[in-house]
């Protein structure tokens, strides 16, 4: 039997999964760890916690699945992107890692833009604008604020690549995660010596870059002993959590898109060429598929908007759900279904935490617009769900405008659990949406990469085709689709009308 392990170093915990060559999941386990916020806007973790959670979760999975060590033919690594681990000359961690959601680097983003010769030139070099979460601004922050620590730094690693170092002793990364550092020449799939030069960052600080399914090293004896695995077991490149999650959803062909409506929303499209939005509204990164790329739009509060409603205004639904022993979202979506599509002119703007795509505006705020005496609770909820779904459509529209075809939309995340919300997505996107038979996300994706990279499949596309298939398809209802098509443009207008007011209100607080 051939078994592949996928290890995903997430923000709340490390999830390890064991997969048979056929794609069947044998076992999975998650081990959690804390997140530290020593100052407002700071977000840090101890890399040692990731390593300990890796050991623990791998051992749990081997035990739970009764897996023999000689059957494990390969390991794949995924994880939260953009984080930064700083190591000294003895390969010890210098300070806690700064994470993807850390917000301390606004000044360094400006510094990068100016050193690169402006936003447009930066996007030309590395395909993306500087965002506070990315790795490059974190490196500059260390240099500007903790110069002694910076002087001691000999190696900088992303979260999953730190775990790779502990497993194999190699300093290595792969193209999909490296894209999120802002230091990769995304087109050529190697470090951008040009930008590194402009920022005066020594290339030797960065690990070697592999393709995602390439073997980047093998388990050394000490790690093998700790994990209860065989020395020499290959570890493939793996992928950043978004690219790895897309592999786990089989988003590995031109025209296939995923729309994940979870707390945040992500629209992810495979692309055969580097397609760059000159305004930088969507990310353009290397895909975990050899020689391919992806573009990705992010809605900060998609399902999160409905969660806010449930927590703040949904006591009646929560009570009723307890009585009926169902999920409160089921009651809430039933209430929404009482209102007509379009919510009788009521709109909701889902910018409860600012927005990333398409507006990249931290000052944007949420709103119901167009309230009248006719509106009741069903309209409030339906409009909210429509607003979150229009935001997802905004991402789709940008992607379509970038020469990336959208032939098949695969929906996932909490929002896809509801038939009502799946139908609304089909009606608002204006095309069929489908679900697939795999729901395990990034850990599954990197287990597939491990299978492909160690020879069980020709490549990751073949691995996905062999293991993942469509489970259900929801078609749009022609009349409702027409209604939403008519209403959608006004949604975009409302943001523009309110934009300057949001800012003024916050400045006057």
Q: Which residues bind ligand ADP (CB under 6 A)?
A: 262-263, 303-304, 306-307, 327, 329-330, 333, 413-415, 417-418, 421
The response to whether 296 counts as a known ligand-binding position is: no
- Give the nearest distance from C-beta 348 to ligand ADP in angstroms: 13
Active site residues: 241
Report DSSP state, residue 403: T
For 76, phi and psi rounded to 5 degrees?
-125, 145
The response to whether 82 counts as a known ligand-binding position is: yes
Helices (H), ranges, 231-301: 241-248
Give 327 or 462: the residue with its C-beta nearer to ligand ADP: 327
**Cβ neighbours around 340 below 10 Å, total:** 12
Q: In the structure encoding, which two tokens stand for residue 400, read together?
A: 């379509």
Give 145 or 311: the residue with its C-beta nearer to ligand ADP: 311
Q: Give dist(CA 167, CA 176) in Å, integer.
A: 20
Q: In the structure encoding, which two tokens stand for residue 434, read together?
A: 């489908």
- Give the nearest distance from C-beta 327 to ligand ADP in angstroms: 5
- Give the nearest distance from C-beta 412 to ligand ADP in angstroms: 8
Report DSSP state, residue 477: P
H or E element in which residue 78 lies: strand 72-79
- Give the nearest distance from C-beta 252 to ligand ADP in angstroms: 21
Q: Which residue is nearest to ligand ADP (CB)?
A: 414
**Cβ neighbours around 346 below 10 Å, total:** 21
Q: Give dist(CA 474, CA 434) in Å, integer.
A: 6
Q: Give dist(CA 485, CA 354) in Å, integer.
A: 25
Q: Give dist(CA 300, CA 175) in Å, integer.
A: 25
Query: 265 in helix, strand or coil?
Result: strand
Q: If we measure between CA atoms, which residue out of 25, 9, 28 comes closest to residue 80?
A: 9
87 neighbors 93 (Cβ within 8 angstroms): yes
Give 22 or 324: the residue with its C-beta nearer to ligand ADP: 324
Cα 269 → chain centroid? 12
Which residue carries 């085709």 as its tokens? 465
Q: Which residues fall within 8 angstroms of residue 401, CB to CB, at 6 or more apart?
A: none
5 neighbors 17 (Cβ within 8 angstroms): yes
Q: If we measure between CA atoms, which residue out of 84, 15, 75, 83 comes closest to residue 213?
A: 75
Residue numbers belonging to the annotated binding site for substrate: 81-82
């Amino acid at each position: 039997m051939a078994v592949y392990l996928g290890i995903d170093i997430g923000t709340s915990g490390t999830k390890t999964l064991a997969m048979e060559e056929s794609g069947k999941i044998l076992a999975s386990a998650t081990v959690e760890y804390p997140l530290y916020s020593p100052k407002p806007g700071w977000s840090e973790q101890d890399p040692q916690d990731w390593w300990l959670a890796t050991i623990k979760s791998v051992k749990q999975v081997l035990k739970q699945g009764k897996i023999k060590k000689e059957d494990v033919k390969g390991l794949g690594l995924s994880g939260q992107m953009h984080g930064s681990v700083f190591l000294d000359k003895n390969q010890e961690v210098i300070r806690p890692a700064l994470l993807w959601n850390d917000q301390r680097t606004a000044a360094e983003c400006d510094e990068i833009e100016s050193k690169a010769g402006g936003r447009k030139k930066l996007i030309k070099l590395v395909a993306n604008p500087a965002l506070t979460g990315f790795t490059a601004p974190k490196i500059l922050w260390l240099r500007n604020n903790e110069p002694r620590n910076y002087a001691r730094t000999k190696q900088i690693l992303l979260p999953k690549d730190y775990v790779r170092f502990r497993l194999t002793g190699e300093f290595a990364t792969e193209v999909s995660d490296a894209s999120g550092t802002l230091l990769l020449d995304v087109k050529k799939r190697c470090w951008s010596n040009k930008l590194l030069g402009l920022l005066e960052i020594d290339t030797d600080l960065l690990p070697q870059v592999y393709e995602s399914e390439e073997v980047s090293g093998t388990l050394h004896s000490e790690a093998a002993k700790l994990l209860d695995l065989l020395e020499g077991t290959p570890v493939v490149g793996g992928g950043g959590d978004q690219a790895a999650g897309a592999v786990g959803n089989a988003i590995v062909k031109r025209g296939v898109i995923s729309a994940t409506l979870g707390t945040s929303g992500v629209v992810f499209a495979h692309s055969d060429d580097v397609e760059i939005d000159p305004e930088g509204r969507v990310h353009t990164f290397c895909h975990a598929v050899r020689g391919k790329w992806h573009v990705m739009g992010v809605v900060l509060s998609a399902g999160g908007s409905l969660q806010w409603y449930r927590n703040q205004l949904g006591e009646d639904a929560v009570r009723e759900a307890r009585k009926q022993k169902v999920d409160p979202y089921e009651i809430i979506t039933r209430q929404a279904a009482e209102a007509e599509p379009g919510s009788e002119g009521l709109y909701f703007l889902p910018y409860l935490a600012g927005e990333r795509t398409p507006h990249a505006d931290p000052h944007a705020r949420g709103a119901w617009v167009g309230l009248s005496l006719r509106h009741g609770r069903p309209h409030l909820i339906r409009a909210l769900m429509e607003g979150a779904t229009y935001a997802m459509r905004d991402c789709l529209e940008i992607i379509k405008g970038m020469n990336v075809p959208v032939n098949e939309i695969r929906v996932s995340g909490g929002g896809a659990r509801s038939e009502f919300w799946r139908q609304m997505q089909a009606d608002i996107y204006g095309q069929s949406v489908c679900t697939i038979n795999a729901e395990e996300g990034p850990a599954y994706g990197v287990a597939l990469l491990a299978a492909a990279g160690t020879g069980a499949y020709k490549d990751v596309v073949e691995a996905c085709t062999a293991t993942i298939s469509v489970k259900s398809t929801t078609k749009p209802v022609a009349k409702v689709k027409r209604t939403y098509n008519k209403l959608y443009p006004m949604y975009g207008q409302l943001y523009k009308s309110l934009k300057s007011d949001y800012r003024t209100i916050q400045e006057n607080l």
